[in-house]
Chains A and B, each alone.
Chain A
Amino acid sequence: MNTRLSYDIIGLTLFAGVILFGVPALFSYDGFELNTFSRYLSLAIVSMALALSWGTAGLLNLGQAATFGMGSYAMAMHLKLKASGDGLPDFMGWNNVETLPLIWGPFQSLTFTLLAGLLIPAAVGGLIAIFMFRARIAGVFVAIITLAFLVAFQLLVIEQQGLTGGQNGLTGLAQLVLFGWKIDIYSVSFYYMVGGCLVAALIFGLYLTHSKFGLVLRAIREDAERTRYFGYNVANYQTVIFCISAGLAGWAGMLYALVLEFASPTYMSVSFSLAIVIWCAVGGRESVLAAAVGAILVNLAEGRLSDVFVEGWHMILGVMFLVVVMFMPRGIYGLLVDAGRVLRRKPASTKEALPFDTPLNPKQES
């Protein structure tokens, strides 16, 4: 067991302790306060998912919100069907849809929904990844393709009103019944469920980053060409991490739809997608744990400050983001690492410092 791993395990234990015991105690087990916090926790999952693809493998996915949205719609479709009983969902009537569309049918089943919310985003992410990485697309072009996909996907969801509820999204959802347990989202047990999902996702993420798989991904981030010369199939590694990241984002989306009790196309907007990038960057993209903490901190600040500065909040967000990108590119995590180094009186060596992003390698463009 190396030191990095032991630090991460200590960090995760602390984090899990705070989330599972500290926060509920702080809000004196008040369901309504904890509901807000479970919203932050579900967003922490999508942020840590981005850290896997962006921080570990150097693939900046600006379309993370698309897979997140797929998950939230999967969950919302199931709950909408439950709420509509034997009839059609109400918005379909407004759009002159006579019979239940084919793709809605299977969402009657909870098992299918849970699998779909995880696997459909993963499959879509995988297809995009195969499409890009087989052609050795890298750097900025990954960001642009994923961004274009996000814009197209959001337009499609808004356009297909009869299927998706269009601009209004899916509202008026039923409560989820999970193995006979009717989930009240304002209960402490719901909070523990979301918190449990986050901790499980973090354990999985830490396991991945510390495995040999994670090591190869970091090698790809540093120099894809050289990793290829070592005989690794770079495209396959990139595709797998993209799939995992998209699947986790879908999972986060399902929880998010549960917390907010609706699914809306704004979950798939460009600004939401870049907000995920902001959380991840503020926390520190190299560590899944830091990315999750970043999401919670930024959203907590947004929740508290946007009451005080209703208009100015976005300004604060923009400035914060700019400062992080310019002066602390490794986020809070980077500050902690540097502080730790000073404490142990080790001079920061340039060898250890990671270059902040994958250089645009002209050889890979053509």
Chain B
Amino acid sequence: MDVVFNQAFAGLSIASILLIIALGLAIIYGTMGVINLAHGEFVMLGAYATWALQTYAGLGVVTALPLVFVAVAAVGWIIEKVIVQRLYTRPLDTILATWGIGIILQQAVRLGVGADSRFVSGPHWLSGNIEIGALVMSNYRLFVIAFSIMVLGATWLLMTRTEFGMKLRAVIQNRGISECYGIEAKNVYSVTFAYGAGLAGIAGALITPLFSTIPTMGTGLVVDAFLVVIVGGLGSLMGTAAAALLIGEVTALFSIVINDTLGRIAVLAGIILLIRFRPRGLFPSDIRH
């Protein structure tokens, strides 16, 4: 039974990271229908930015978060302006273009920083564990879980309680009519893309103490995060959260019953079945397209 609880906690930890990555993707995909395969590279950039800030400026992971967010968001904003904006009428091509961007970003980091793995230490004040019976929970992972819930809340507030969020929702529902009402859809798209990229950067910063920081770290993450978005349903924040939780937990619990790899295969197979039978996801939003 202890194993189950510990795995459930591990699943929660996977889910929290998936959630932050997938939220950015979900917003980008839900708003402009862009499948951003460079999202994993935004995560990687966030991780390297954290490493650079820690190595050269002595900032801790948590202090670096706002700076990393702004830096990666700026990169996302530029990419949106220069490249993605030209491809809105060709959704399938965005897959290819963002894959190209991903290759370029990856190679740029490899050339600039080097291909070997970088080490980032977690914050000292979060170093211990909390133990309840046989259940061992690392403080840092608990912090990441709490932080991901905060990010989810902040994004929800941004979407529903601010003027920008209202414009965004208007553009999602009908771009043409929103533009007639004076909303600059182009700017909304740019800011949304930047925000999504910034979230990926935060995710990258948060996972540096847990994963090894290498140029290819994003490639595996983006497939998982994208599946979370699809399972959650288009344009639905809570759906994305529920899907992240579901996939994280199922992956973790499957790996007790069978092994890690087979667990992942089973999850992928489940997701393929889900897309087949519910292509709009488990929790589709009611927005009419």
A interface list, Cβ under 8 A from B: 60, 62, 131-132, 135, 137, 139-141, 143-145, 147-149, 151-152, 155-156, 158-159, 270-271, 274, 277-278, 281, 311-312, 314-315, 317-319, 321-322, 325-326, 329, 356-360, 362, 365-366
A357 touches B90 (CB 8 A): yes
If A318-B101, A366-B279 are given as contacts, then 9 extra A-B residue pairs at C-beta distance below 8 Å, sorted by A number, are A141-B275, A144-B275, A145-B272, A148-B227, A278-B96, A319-B104, A326-B97, A360-B33, A362-B289
B226 at the interface (CB under 8 A from A): yes
Over the window 245-275 of chain B, the binary record of Cβ atoms lying under 8 Å from chain A Cβ atoms (1 yes, 0 no) is 0000000000000010110110011011001
A-binding segment of B66-74, B105-113, B140-148, B167-175: B105-113
Q: How far is the CA of A288 from the CA of B33 in the complex (A)?
A: 29
Chain A residues near B262 (CB, 8 Å)? 159
Question: Which B residues from 72 to 126 make CB contacts under 8 A with A?
Answer: 83, 86-87, 90-93, 95-97, 99-104, 106-108, 110-111
Q: How far is the CA of A303 from the CA of B200 in the complex (A)?
A: 35
What residue in chain A is nearest B227 (Cβ atoms)? A148
Question: Which B residues from 205 to 253 make CB contacts under 8 A with A?
Answer: 219, 223, 226-227, 230
Interface size class of B (residues with CB under 8 A): 35 or more
Select B265's contact among A62, A147, A152, A329, beta carbons within 8 Å. A152
Chain A residues near B91 (CB, 8 Å)? 139-140, 357, 359-360
A315 touches B272 (CB 8 A): no
Select A321's contact among B103, B259, B265, beta carbons within 8 Å. B103
B277 at the interface (CB under 8 A from A): yes
Q: How far is the CA of A325 from the CA of B102 in the complex (A)?
A: 14
B107 touches A318 (CB 8 A): yes
Q: How many Å from the CB of B26 to the closest CB on chain A?
A: 14
B100 touches A325 (CB 8 A): yes
Select B111's contact among A312, A319, A329, beta carbons within 8 Å. A312
Q: How many Å from the CB of A354 to the closest CB on chain B?
A: 12
Select B107's contact among A140, A145, A315, A359, beta carbons within 8 Å. A315
Q: How many Å from the CB of B106 to the closest CB on chain A?
A: 7
